[in-house]
Amino acid sequence: MNRLQEKVAVITGGGSGIGAATAALFVQEGARVVVVGRNEEKLRKTVQAINHENVSYTVADVSQVEDTQRYLREAVKRHGGLDILVSNAGIQGEFAPVSDISVEAFDSVMAINVRGTWLAVKYAFPELQKRGGGSIILTSSAGGLGGMQVSSPYVASKHAVVGIARASAIDGAPHRIRVNAVCPGPVDNDMMTNVERMLGAGNEAAIRAAVAGRVPLKRFASNEEVARMNLFLASEESSYCTGGAYTVDGGWSSSLP
Ligand code: NAD
């Protein structure tokens, strides 16, 4: 308990899934948390479910420069500084072989997953520097470490997220800013439900079983299992970890061909 006492954290994509579970865990560990997302109703639900004075929200689109500056500025204004950034907002995009994916679909995945992540890191850095350091955690994917079929924009974007973590970790080290990527495998939440719907076309259960069957642990992760890795990387328990890409994938990436 209290592993994040006195710390201020911003979590993007905090209205659902991994981001909402991370917000709940961080508050439980003593942090003051601002969750960020595009959908106000989902953010409000996250805040209501946590039901604690240390959590609030800001509506913003992470792909926009002005929105990024604003959500960070508001967190600093509310809590006097920033120690932890979890840049976690992301979308899956279209499923199709590379030749069938539209350029617009590629651009929208890149805008949110790559540009949104890079902007968050860029504008959070000066705030963490003011506090004498801090921790940045970027949600990549097992697809950021290896290939996955019919998902070329997503896979490209998640490899880029790992690249942002590795490069920024070097820039951040002199300032005691650690930057790491987390690479989940399939997680039991809305994003996976959408994947099943898009790929399953009425046969979602079969898709779900097939995906789980490819994971060595033979099941999906819970949001909380990923949130616990985020907590480790946010806390001083990971003080020598930077520039890493940490899998929470039930062995998925080890078993990629
Ligand atoms: P999710 O869809 O519940 O969460 C994604 C959140 O990002 C949503 O709340 C959404 O509103 C928000 N978001 C999307 N675009 C945004 C934008 N432009 N600005 C602000 N917010 C935006 O699913 P999740 O699994 O919790 O996803 C979190 C992260 O985990 C994503 O980056 C995703 O790629 C990654 N991930 C998920 C899985 C999985 O199986 N669910 C596996 C590996 C990695």
Task: For a ligand 1 pocket test, name from 191, 220, 224 the mutation site with the most ligand atoms within 8 angstroms of its C-beta.
Answer: 191
**pLDDT at residue 200 is higher than 80:** no
Q: Which atom of ligand 1 is nearest to the CA of 187?
A: 40
C-alpha distances (whole Å) from 201 to each of 14, 189, 195, 204, 205 are 28, 18, 10, 7, 10
Quote the pLDDT of residue 194.
83
Quote the pLDDT of residue 148.
86
Identity of the amino acid at 100: D
Residue 182: both structure tokens together: 């987390």
DSSP code string of 118-176: HHHHHHHHHHHHHTT-EEEEEE--GGGTS--TTBHHHHHHHHHHHHHHHHHHHHHGGGT
Tell me: the pLDDT tens digits for 231-256?
999 999 999 999 999 999 999 999 86
**pLDDT at residue 1 is higher than 90:** no
Quote the pLDDT of residue 227.
99
Distance 5 CA to ligand 1 centre (A): 26
Return the number of other C-beta atoms located less than 10 Å from residue 17's C-beta: 24
Angle between helices 40-50 and 17-28 (to 10 degrees): 30
CATH, domain range 8-185+222-249: 3.40.50.720
Residue 104's contacts (CB-CB under 8 Å, 6 or more residues apart) are none
Residue nearest to atom 2 of ligand 1 (CA): 191
Of the candidate ranges 117-121, 125-129, 201-205, the one whose mean pLDDT is the lowest: 201-205
The residues spanned by each domain of the chain are: 8-185+222-249, 187-220
154 tagged catalytic: yes
Distance 112 CA to ligand 1 centre (A): 10
pLDDT band at 205 (very low <50, low <70, confident <90, very high): confident
Give the mean pLDDT of the chain: 96
Determine the average pLDDT of the residues in 195-215: 84
Quote the pLDDT of residue 257.
62
Q: Which atom of ligand 1 is nearest to the CA of 220?
A: 40
Determine the average pLDDT of the residues in 167-189: 98
Determine the average pLDDT of the residues in 47-69: 98
pLDDT band at 36 (very low <50, low <70, confident <90, very high): very high
Determine the average pLDDT of the residues in 98-120: 98
Distance 174 CA to ligand 1 centre (A): 31
Determine the average pLDDT of the residues in 80-91: 98
**pLDDT at residue 196 is higher than 90:** no
Distance 100 CA to ligand 1 centre (A): 23
For ligand 1, which residues put their CB under 6 angstroms from it?
A: 12-13, 15-19, 37-39, 42, 61-63, 88-91, 112, 116, 139, 141, 184, 186-187, 189-192
